[in-house]
Amino acid sequence: MTESPVATEKWAASVPGYAPDGLMACHACDGVHRIVPVPERAKALCRRCGSLLYRNMPRSLDHSTALYLAVFILFLLANTFPFVALQYGDRVEQSLLISGGWALQRAGMEELGLLVLLTSVVFPFLTMCGMLYLLLPLRFGVRPPWMTPVWKMVRALTPWSLIGVFMLGLLVSVVKLQDLAAIIPGVAFYAFIGLLVVSAAAVASFDPAVLWPRMGPVVESDALSASADSAAAMGYAACHACDLLVRRPAGGARWVCPRCGSAVHGMRIADSLSRTWGLLTAAVLLLVPANLFPVMTVTRFGQGEPSTILSGVVHLVEDGAWPLGLLVFFASFIVPIRKIAALVYLLVTVQRGSPRRLRDRTLLYRVTEAVGAWSMIDIFLVGILVALVRMDGLAVVYPGIGATFFGAAVVLTMMAAHAFDPRLVWDRAGSRA
């Protein structure tokens, strides 16, 4: 933890229930830390693994409330006005943002359409509504009811809200369409670009301490003797919903968080290792047909040939759009393979109880979890092209079965990364399991 001599009393006072001697556990390695004030805008990092523990953002509530309101308005604009129009001669076809999901459903790819609809529209919408539900009353000093279930929903849906990835898929599809028709961006297109920027700012300005002050149990200092102590070794566990450190109750009583009422799990994510292995195996099996079968067929004047993920990349490069070709190649081919290799390496080293390169392995996990969603770019690309290009007789794009396999494989690798508990890297270090 970066301890600072500058004690910001103001910040400490602004956090209700702040306990200067409280403890917290690192979410990545379970290392226990004493909460100390840090200067404004400064970060406190985990002493063991280097993960972010917390930041001091004194005006987080004001800023994030305003930014989430702006996100909400931009989202409504982006979804009600025409997104892009395709002009081919004197024919103009307009599309709404959500038509990507619908078009896939109409084309008989219900599961894939649902995946696109959920990750590009429904989950981002539920996430921003949940945040506003929590932030707006708090901004006016009122604690909203059902704070715990709403916050749990926001936490669960955030990794599956993929607006940024959708935007990149749109960019690639615009390049792919350039020689087919003129593309006229609509009001929603500009609203969507604004939405991307503002939602990134909203996420960055939000400090969870606004909802759940960073107080922890106050423990005598000799309980913190060994620097490598994990919360589990000390008989504590962090609440999954609000991160409060909760002591295991005596005599087998139910372990419940006193602050938010959630059940506390002393164990690591149940069966983390076997679940991660299972999900990874299924993902590897699905990646084979995903790369063999076509993901889409572009027909012009009634004829065309199906393209797979890799042949789509080759087409982009041949058209001179090699930066985008490289991007799609990286996102749809390198990222899934690299992700599977990284998780297998983490699983094997945890099972062997390897004590080496603990920090590097924690960082590897963080990167793996963060980049995984970018593989969805090809799925969004197919959805957008199928929705936009539907000029019968001139040009039509049909989705291919390879896209469904690929979508399932990406979802499974994302689930595998979530199922893996990075704290096991530290728990098992030096112990042969």
Residues that bind Zn ion (CB under 5 A): 26, 28-29, 31, 46, 48-49, 51, 239, 241-242, 244, 257, 259-260, 262
- Least separation in angstroms between residue 353's CB and Zn ion is 18
Q: How far is the CB of 173 from Zn ion (least distance, A)?
A: 40
As measured in angstroms, the least distance from the Cβ of 221 to Zn ion is 20
Cα–Cα distance measured from residue 206 to residue 49, given in angstroms and rounded to the nearest whole number: 23
Q: How far is the CB of 144 from Zn ion (least distance, A)?
A: 16
- Least distance from C-beta 405 to Zn ion, angstroms? 37
Helix (H, G, I), strand (E, B) or coil at 107: coil
Nearer to Zn ion, 258 or 320 (CB): 258
| Smaller CB separation from Zn ion, 106 or 359 | 359
Q: 81 near 191, Cβ under 8 Å?
A: yes
Q: Which is nearer to Zn ion, 50 or 82 (CB)?
A: 50
The amino acid occupying position 421 is D
Strands (E), 291-408: 296-300, 306-307, 390-391, 395-399
> What's the CA gap between 416 and 419, in Å, rounded?
5
Q: Are 123 and 160 in contact (CB under 8 A)?
A: yes
240 or 315: whose CB is closer to Zn ion? 240
DSSP 8-state class, residue 47: T
DSSP three-state, residue 130? helix
DSSP reduced 3-state for 243: coil
CB 47 → Zn ion: shortest distance, Å? Answer: 7
Q: Which residue, 242 or 350, is less far from Zn ion as judged by CB?
A: 242
Q: Which CB atom, from 147 or from 195, has the smaller least distance to Zn ion? A: 147
Nearer to Zn ion, 26 or 411 (CB): 26
Q: Tokens for 360?
A: 């590097």
Decide whether 241 or 379 has the Cβ nearer to Zn ion: 241
In terms of Cα–Cα distance, which of 207, 169, 193, 170 is closest to 55?
207
Give me Rg for the CA atoms of the chain.
24
Alpha helices, DSSP H, located in 140-186: 147-157, 163-177
- The secondary element (H helix, E strand) that includes residue 262 is none
Q: How far is CA 218 from CA 18, 33, 328, in A?
A: 11, 11, 50
CB of 431 to Zn ion, least distance (A): 18
CB of 150 to Zn ion, least distance (A): 13
